[in-house]
């Protein structure tokens, strides 16, 4: 069983859309528990359901819209069928939790979505200043989530 | 009173499109149009760029089949250099191509089309998705996910990335395959072969429930085209082009892909941004032909691998000549996955596969080059011209889905005439029209950026523009495309 799985979603060629990739890169460098696995899928796709089903804790990391640039949000996730499972481009974290549970009979004990709100999503390889500044805070937030012990 | 029905957008396909049906005064469908509503323009974007950038630039056309564009482009660049690639690189490129075929076919069959097969064409659209599949047949759902994972894993192991790898370059590949990585891939093959065999066994029973769809889903005589090897097998990476007819007879054979303009015309129509290729000797639109899994299975005299060969014999026994119903693209896709897995195993067991010399180098030797391979959806052609400095001056791409454009339009007309009978639309009627398109698995473009689940709107208008009926499918927010 993987103790924790951290998944980064985004496109580094679309400006702030790639913030999660950088957050998880930095998180990995801080020296997490060796049983933590990191992945950088560009999208949330159904293939992730299988590794999700094997983890005790899963943290989905993504960029967000509709909030002040650089603001960090953390949501506790539960399986939910009503959210999208488009098959190729549009799966939601909640739908992947449900897919894990229904296809593989297991789901993480805890699952979170951590987002950093972006400002610019045009064709650009750099992050905007407020988003870049938010990265250390996002890393600390995820480390705190991972450090909570999981009851046996 | 004549009227028009618009299905906009078509769902569970790769890319963005809509369908228009013209209804005549007798309330029968008289015309059908498949509109590809997005415009790409890669042929223009690349002008002025150095030719050696083309493989990594052109693979950005698509997020599902980037490997096909990578390979066709690299082959066109090999032609500009007038060189062959090292034997190990040739086989590694072939494995990459077959791995992509597996992951793409798995996506098409299990994610996009199996909801229609399991829940039913008229089933509740709320259940006609992967959730519905996993509830009704979890083993099938897990199998589809595993097959797609395996195809992507092979691509990642060889090329470093699952999507948009830069490993294939003019002259070969950038890195050889290690023995350790080869052995890890080999160890998984029996498991994934078993998944395809189980799925085939299930599908061969299941498709008996779709007799009406088999009869009406783009089931008509046409030519078929694809690459064929010297030993008469489907040539996914190499070979020469062959055309066969609906009786299975060879119409034209051993055609060099580099001379495609001699026998392929490319028509344009005002209703779509997708070109309509046709077989020149039969003119437009009489030169209609189909490509992809159904064509490849129809055109060859043997499959060449033991398990796929058994399935191929059974498949070809469905009809005396070629199998004409496009519903059987699904069946052909499963056989191709089996073939691809067996063939990957063959290549991996060849000692040459781990040789370390995987790239040759050369200078520009030709000012024009054509590269061709079989993408999951059919024959893909990249054609470039360069100046003396190696800068692109002109490019033409003949995309696999484009070859099927005439057949898809005709298929929509056939299925709409069969299923769209009244002025009162319903979801099942709509889904039948969409499902014939899904059978072809068109890849209209995966690299455009989109947010959210696509909304669906169908409007039934009278000849004077009066709204007679309307259906809406709500949109919702999604994530990265």
CA distance readout (Å), B288 to A16, A23, B225, B284, B326: 46, 51, 10, 8, 14
Q: Do A42 and B480 touch (CB under 8 A)?
A: yes
Q: Distance, in angstroms, between A34 CA and closest chain B CA?
A: 22
Contacts of A17 in chain B (CB under 8 A): 480
pTM value > 0.90: no
Domain over A2-147 is classified CATH 3.40.50.1450 = yes
ipTM of predicted assembly, 2 dp:
0.82
Q: Distance, in angstroms, between B55 CA and closest chain A CA?
A: 18
Q: Is the minimum CB–CB distance between A47 and chain B shorter than 8 Å?
A: yes
Strands B3-8 and A72-76: unpaired
Contact B18, B463 (CB under 8 A): no
Strands B29-36 and B3-8: unpaired
Q: Do A47 and B446 touch (CB under 8 A)?
A: no
CATH fold of B84-212+338-356: Cytochrome-c3 Hydrogenase; chain B (1.10.645)
Q: Do A86 and B453 touch (CB under 8 A)?
A: yes
Q: Do B145 and A14 touch (CB under 8 A)?
A: no
Give me the half-sphere count of Cα atoms (radius 13 Å) on the Cβ side of residue A97: 25
Going by C-beta distance under 8 Å and a sequence separation of 6 or more, which residues neighbour residue B474? Answer: B455
Q: How many CB pairs under 8 A join A and B?
A: 80
Q: Is the minimum CB–CB distance between B26 and chain A shorter than 8 Å?
A: no
Contacts of B12 in chain A (CB under 8 A): 87
Q: Is the minimum CB–CB distance between A46 and chain B shorter than 8 Å?
A: yes
pLDDT tens, position by position, for chain B (481 residues)? Answer: 677 777 776 665 666 678 888 888 887 888 888 887 777 788 888 999 999 999 999 998 888 889 999 999 999 999 999 999 999 999 999 999 999 999 999 999 998 899 899 988 888 877 888 778 888 899 999 999 999 999 999 999 999 988 889 999 999 999 999 999 999 999 999 999 999 999 999 999 999 999 999 999 999 999 999 999 999 999 999 999 999 999 999 999 999 999 999 999 998 888 888 888 999 999 999 999 999 999 999 999 888 899 999 999 999 999 999 999 999 999 999 999 999 999 999 999 999 999 999 999 999 999 999 999 999 999 999 999 999 999 999 999 998 989 999 999 999 999 988 888 756 777 788 888 888 888 999 887 532 222 233 334 445 555 565 666 665 544 333 332 2
CA distance readout (Å), B194 to A92, B342, B383: 30, 11, 39
Contact B388, B403 (CB under 8 A): no
Of A47, A89, A99, the CB nearest to B478: A89
Q: Is the minimum CB–CB distance between A80 and chain B shorter than 8 Å?
A: no
| Minimal-distance CA residue of chain B relative to A104 | B142
* Residue ranges of domains in chain A: 2-147
Q: Do A85 and B130 touch (CB under 8 A)?
A: yes
What span, in angstroms and rounded, lies between the C-alpha atoms of B275 and B327? Answer: 23
Partner A, chain B 58-117, Cβ-Cβ below 8 Å: 63-64, 107, 111-112
State the virtual CA torsion across A116, A121, A127, A129 in degrees, nearest 10: -80
Contacts of A102 in chain B (CB under 8 A): 131, 134-135, 138
């Amino acid at each position: 069983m993987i103790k924790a799985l951290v998944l980064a979603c985004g496109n580094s060629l679309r400006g702030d859309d790639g913030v999660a990739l950088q957050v998880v890169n930095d998180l990995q460098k801080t020296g997490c528990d060796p049983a933590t696995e990191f992945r950088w899928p560009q999208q949330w796709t159904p293939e992730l359901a299988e590794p999700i089903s094997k983890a005790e804790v899963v943290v989905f990391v993504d960029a967000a819209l509709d909030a002040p640039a650089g603001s960090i949000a953390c949501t506790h996730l539960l399986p939910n069928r009503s959210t999208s499972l488009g098959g190729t481009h549009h799966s939601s974290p909640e739908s992947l939790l449900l897919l894990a549970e229904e296809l593989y009979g297991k789901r993480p004990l805890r699952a979170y979505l951590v987002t950093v709100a972006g400002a610019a999503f045009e064709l650009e390889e750099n992050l905007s200043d407020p988003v870049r500044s938010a990265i250390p805070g996002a890393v600390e937030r995820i480390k705190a989530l991972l450090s909570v012990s999981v009851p046996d | 009173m004549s009227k028009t029905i618009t299905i906009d957008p078509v769902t569970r396909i790769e890319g963005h499109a809509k369908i228009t049906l013209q209804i005549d005064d007798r309330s029968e469908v008289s015309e059908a149009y498949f509109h590809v509503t997005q415009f790409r323009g890669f042929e223009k974007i690349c002008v002025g760029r150095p030719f050696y950038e083309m493989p990594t630039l052109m693979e950005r056309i698509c997020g599902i089949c980037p490997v096909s564009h990578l390979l066709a482009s690299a082959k066109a660049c090999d032609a500009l250099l007038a060189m062959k690639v090292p034997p190990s690189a040739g086989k590694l490129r072939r494995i990459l191509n077959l791995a992509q075929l597996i992951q793409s076919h798995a996506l098409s069959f299990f994610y996009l089309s199996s909801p229609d097969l399991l829940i039913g064409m008229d089933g509740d659209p709320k259940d006609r998705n992967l959730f519905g599949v996993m509830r009704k047949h979890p083993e099938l759902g897990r199998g589809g996910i595993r097959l797609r994972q395996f195809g992507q894993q092979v691509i990642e192991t060889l090329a470093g990335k699952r999507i948009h790898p830069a490993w294939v370059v003019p002259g070969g590949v950038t890195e050889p395959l290690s023995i350790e990585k080869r052995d890890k891939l080999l160890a998984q093959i029996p498991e994934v072969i078993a998944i395809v065999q189980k799925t085939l066994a299930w599908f061969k029973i299941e498709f008996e429930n779709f007799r009406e769809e088999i009869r009406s889903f783009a089931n008509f005589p046409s030519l078929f085209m694809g690459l064929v090897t010297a030993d008469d097998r489907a040539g996914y990476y190499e070979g020469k082009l062959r055309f066969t007819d609906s009786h299975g007879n060879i119409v034209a054979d051993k055609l060099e892909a580099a001379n495609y303009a001699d026998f392929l015309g490319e028509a344009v129509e005002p209703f779509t941004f997708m070109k309509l290729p046709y077989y020149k000797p039969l003119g437009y639109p009489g030169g209609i032909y189909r490509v992809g899994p159904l064509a490849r299975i129809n055109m060859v005299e043997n499959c060449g691998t033991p398990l796929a060969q058994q399935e191929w014999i059974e498949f070809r026994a469905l009809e005396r000549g070629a199998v004409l119903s496009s519903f059987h693209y699904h069946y052909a896709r499963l056989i191709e996955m089996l073939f691809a897995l067996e063939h990957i195993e063959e290549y991996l067991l060849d000692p040459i596969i781990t040789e370390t010399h995987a790239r040759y180098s050369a200078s520009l030797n030709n000012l024009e080059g054509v590269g061709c391979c079989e993408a999951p959806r059919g024959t893909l052609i990249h054609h470039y011209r360069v100046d003396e400095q190696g800068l692109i001056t002109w490019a033409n791409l003949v995309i696999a889905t484009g070859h099927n454009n005439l057949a898809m339009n005709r298929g929509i007309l056939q299925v709409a005439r069969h299923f769209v009978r009244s002025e009162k639309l319903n979801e099942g009627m709509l889904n039948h029209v969409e499902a014939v398109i899904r059978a072809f698995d068109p890849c209209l473009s995966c690299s455009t950026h989109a947010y959210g689940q696509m909304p669906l709107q169908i409007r039934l208008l009278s000849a004077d523009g009066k709204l007679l009926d309307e259906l809406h499918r709500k949109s919702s927010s999604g994530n990265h495309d």
